[in-house]
């Protein structure tokens, strides 16, 4: 049964068959797009491998880690800015004598070579040396692949930095825990010492507050008895055998 014609009083409402047909069309279109993407992905494999080799060993191995990371980050930012702002000319160029560019790309081994590989070309404008990326379908495809490879390494750098921060945080937490334990032990020792000192002081006060015991003289009979038992004191010490 066909749907009634649309009118102000009777707006058109799609039937179940219309909805089903539209869903099938969307699914077919998505499948075709996925198939095209898979084909393009396979076609770009060789170029991806080429760019990966330009990054490692091209940039990673001849430079120290800090220089290599800074170069990759700078290249990734340059390339991603073009993809994010395709109609803005300022993102498609960089000045060769720019301090950051000199340090991060020119002085890093393999940095300028990578910029040329994704489509940047040297150009002099008003006696100033530039590298400019010229838009074209071929350059756009190359830039997309080169940026993808840079992002792979960018993500690795970020993950490693996050892990390092987490490790440093864990070390700091461990050090803080030890410091807290030492402080707690010190407080417990101090309290224990104060308790012992207080108890000793209380004991001394208690002893000092006791009444003195009266002195009782020794009876004479006890003295005589003791002297008779001991005998003449020292009388044998003056005699020696001849």
Write down the mean pLDDT value for the chain. Answer: 80
User: How confident is the model over 198-228, as pLDDT tens digits?
Assistant: 777 777 777 677 666 665 665 656 555 555 5
- Residue 54 pLDDT: 97
The predicted structure's pLDDT at residue 194: 74
- pLDDT, tens digit, 9 for 90 and up, residues 42-94: 889 999 999 999 999 999 999 999 999 999 999 999 999 999 999 999 999 99
Confidence of residue 29 (pLDDT cuts 50, 70, 90): low
Closest CA to 145 of 58, 34, 32, 43: 43
Q: pTM of the predicted model, to two decimals? A: 0.57
For 96-229, list the strands marked E by DSSP: 120-125, 128-133
Q: Are 138 and 121 in contact (CB under 8 A)?
A: no
Please report the beta strands in 44-172, taking only residues with DSSP state E, as ranges in sequence order: 93-95, 120-125, 128-133
Please give the order of strands across the beta sheet that includes 93-95.
93-95, 128-133, 120-125
């Amino acid at each position: 049964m066909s749907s009634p014609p649309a009118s102000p009083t009777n707006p058109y409402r799609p039937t179940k068959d219309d909805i089903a047909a539209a869903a099938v069309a969307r699914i077919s279109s998505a499948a075709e797009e996925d198939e095209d993407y898979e084909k393009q992905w396979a076609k770009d494999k060789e170029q991806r491998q080429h760019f990966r080799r330009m990054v490692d060993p091209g940039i990673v191995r001849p430079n120290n880690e800090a220089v290599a990371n800074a170069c990759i980050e700078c290249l990734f930012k340059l390339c991603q800015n073009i993809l994010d702002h395709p109609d803005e000319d300022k993102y498609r160029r960089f000045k060769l004598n720019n301090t950051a560019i000199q340090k991060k790309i020119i002085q890093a081994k393999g940095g300028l070579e990578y910029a040329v590989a994704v489509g940047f070309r040297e150009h002099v404008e008003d006696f100033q040396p530039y590298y400019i990326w010229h838009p074209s379908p071929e350059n756009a495809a190359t830039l997309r692949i080169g940026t993808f490879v840079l992002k792979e390494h960018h993500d690795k750098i970020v993950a490693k930095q996050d892990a390092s921060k987490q490790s440093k945080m864990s070390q700091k937490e461990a050090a803080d825990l030890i410091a807290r334990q030492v402080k707690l032990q010190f407080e417990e020792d101090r309290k224990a010492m104060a308790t012992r000192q207080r108890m000793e002081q209380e004991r001394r006060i208690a002893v000092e507050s006791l009444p003195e015991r009266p002195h009782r003289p020794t009876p004479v009979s006890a003295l005589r008895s003791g002297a008779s038992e001991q005998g003449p004191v020292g009388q044998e010490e003056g005699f020696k055998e001849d």
